[in-house]
Amino acid sequence: MMFPRVGQTIRLQFAGSSEEEHSLEDFKSRVTDMTEGMASIELPISENTGRTGVFRPGTSCLVWYVGEDGSRYEFQSTIVSRESGHIPVLLLQLPKKEQIVRTQRRNYLRIDSALDIAVKHQDPIRCYHFLAKTVDISGGGLAFTCDESYRLREKDVLQVWIALPSKNGQVQHAFAELEIVRQKAPEEKGLHQWISGRFTNISEQDRVKVVRACYERQLELRKKGIEV
């Protein structure tokens, strides 16, 4: 079993909080530091309101995150304290490794589809911002092609905005953070490189939009006699 990494996004559910307003609310945070038995995290932000909350020492919560193997890991934790330094943080109690529960994530339908996406790299040197088209997409990630002048590498994390047309003619948009798992150079000079990645941070609402678009695309292809 693995602990979350420094810099990794985690989710917290305060199912056991004494604060009624937090009782069923999901929060998002990021790990800032790890010491033995303790994790330091940014102040959690509500997935529903976009605001932080009041987190008292002793409050229990469920913590979950996605590991490098694509599986979901979760454990029960307790807020130990809040520290008000340069950046306010919470200290979370870490469990023993054997207390972390691993759940294999479901396989998502992957469909060949050329969707418009906007891509942004937040690296201070490689601060790219460009448009591209997907090669394929699923609820778990996507692949796209782009000019080889963009120096993208495996394990880079990109922000992507996806345009998802629906059968009623409307276009919905979804946002996700995408970790590159494979980069393939162009086979010939002048062609595009191929990038494949998995979603490491996407709201369940946006994932539903992506999954729905994949199934609609699957039905469209089957109507044309194309097996997927």
Whether 205 and 125 map to the same domain: the answer is yes
CATH classification at residue 50: 2.30.110.10
User: What confidence tier does 73 reach under pLDDT thresholds 50, 70, 90?
Assistant: confident
User: What confidence tier does 153 reach under pLDDT thresholds 50, 70, 90?
Assistant: very high
- How many domains does the chain divide into? 2
**What percentage of the chain carries pLDDT values higher than 90?**
43
Whether 115 and 91 map to the same domain: the answer is no
Within the chain, strands assigned E span 9-13, 26-35, 38-42, 45-46, 60-66, 72-84, 88-93, 101-103, 111-112, 116-121, 129-138, 141-146, 157-165, 171-184, 193-201
Across the chain, what does the average pLDDT equal? 85
Whether 60 and 135 map to the same domain: the answer is no
Per-residue pLDDT at 15: 57
Give the residue numbers spanning the domain of 179: 111-223
User: What confidence tier does 193 reach under pLDDT thresholds 50, 70, 90?
Assistant: very high
**Which of 78, 103, 128 marks a domain boundary?**
103
